Amino acid sequence: MFEALLLGFLLDLCIGDPEWLYHPVRMIGKEIIFLEKFLRKVFKHTPTGERIAGGLLVLLIVAVNTLIPVVILFLGYQYHFWLGFAIETIMCYQLVATKSLKTESMKVYKKLKKCDIEGARYAVSRIVGRDTKELSEEGIIKATVETVAENSSDGVIAPLFFMMIGGAGLGFCYKTINTLDSMVGYKNEKYQYFGTAAAKLDDIVNFVPARLAAMLMLVSTFLLELDLIGAVRIFKRDRYNHASPNSAQTESVMAGALQIQLAGDAYYFGKLCKKKTIGDNIRPICNEDIVLSNRLLYVTAMIGILVYAAGYFCLRVIGI
């Protein structure tokens, strides 16, 4: 229900994800690691065998991590409405990552302010999938801004979108798919076939939320008096400059709004990955762009929850 979603969103803004609090995504990650090892032993190491194993991994992990929250919520609401409401609020809180995204990206910012490049490389390694040991200061900032842009959708707007449709249960379904993609959805030698199902499913479920997030970020660009014309131009031109059909949607808006160039070649697991650039190199990227990216993140999140609230109350008024 929307009230639980709203309270969960506000809880996230207030306290984020403290490291002492066990997060359900860690549990999902451990399940993926365990089941991947098991399935790789059972199925043949052929393209077909790995695709079947990867498909089974997705099916089982998504089913388990959707069914368990749904059952818990059902039992909670059956016992007492307020117990169910409290459980759903906590679940919604755990599925949104607005403050934690800002917190982790600002750790990079603070390390760079202190000229601690090694510290900044370590801080950014916690929030990106690429190799960070050899990143320059510019590369560190780019990686940070890119992950804030991409996760404005994956970590905020998308989970809110699915929770609006189907509550915390559907939110966990989305989060599980997103976690699977982040762990096995690579196009390298190890996951070229095994990760196909995870990557394709993630592309499907993020298709609408990624574009919605981009639209909301364009509104945020206007409200923050950034370069709206540039954001619209780069969005139209570069929104597909990524291996994923969704990741560059918000990255292109961010690049245009800040008048910087993002993406380009990067190393993953020791191998160079050739990637298109996003945006124009109008000015050099700088440390303050991390701060600006977080402003865009927060305003986008706030507009998103307001849009969802408006939609919810309109449906209530007409009796749906």
Percent of the chain exceeding pLDDT 90 equals 75
Gap between the Cα atoms of 303 and 311, Å rounded = 12
User: Does residue 272 have a pLDDT over 90?
Assistant: no
Least confident of 62-66, 108-112, 148-152, 311-315: 311-315
* pLDDT for 19: 74
Q: Yes or no: say if 268 and 129 are a contact pair by the CB < 8 Å rule.
A: yes
* pLDDT for 269: 66
What stretches of 80-136 show up as alpha helix (H) in DSSP?
A: 81-95, 98-113, 117-125
Gap between the Cα atoms of 236 and 248, Å rounded = 11
Gap between the Cα atoms of 50 and 111, Å rounded = 41
51 to each of 167, 192, 196, 243, how far by Cα in Å? Answer: 31, 9, 7, 19
pLDDT band, very low/low/confident/very high, at 243 (cuts 50, 70, 90): confident
Gap between the Cα atoms of 269 and 279, Å rounded = 26
Q: What is the pLDDT of residues 48-75, one digit of tens each?
A: 999 999 999 999 999 999 999 999 999 9
pLDDT band, very low/low/confident/very high, at 23 (cuts 50, 70, 90): confident
Q: What is the pLDDT of residues 169-192, one digit of tens each?
A: 999 999 999 999 989 988 778 888
What stretches of the chain show up as alpha helix (H) in DSSP?
A: 2-15, 24-42, 47-79, 81-95, 98-113, 117-125, 137-152, 158-184, 196-205, 207-223, 228-238, 247-258, 288-317
Q: Yes or no: say if 173 and 65 are a contact pair by the CB < 8 Å rule.
A: yes
* pLDDT for 293: 96
Q: How far is CA 140 from the centre of its chain?
A: 19
pTM assigned to the model: 0.92
* pLDDT for 320: 63
Name the average pLDDT for the chain: 92
User: Does residue 90 have a pLDDT over 70?
Assistant: yes
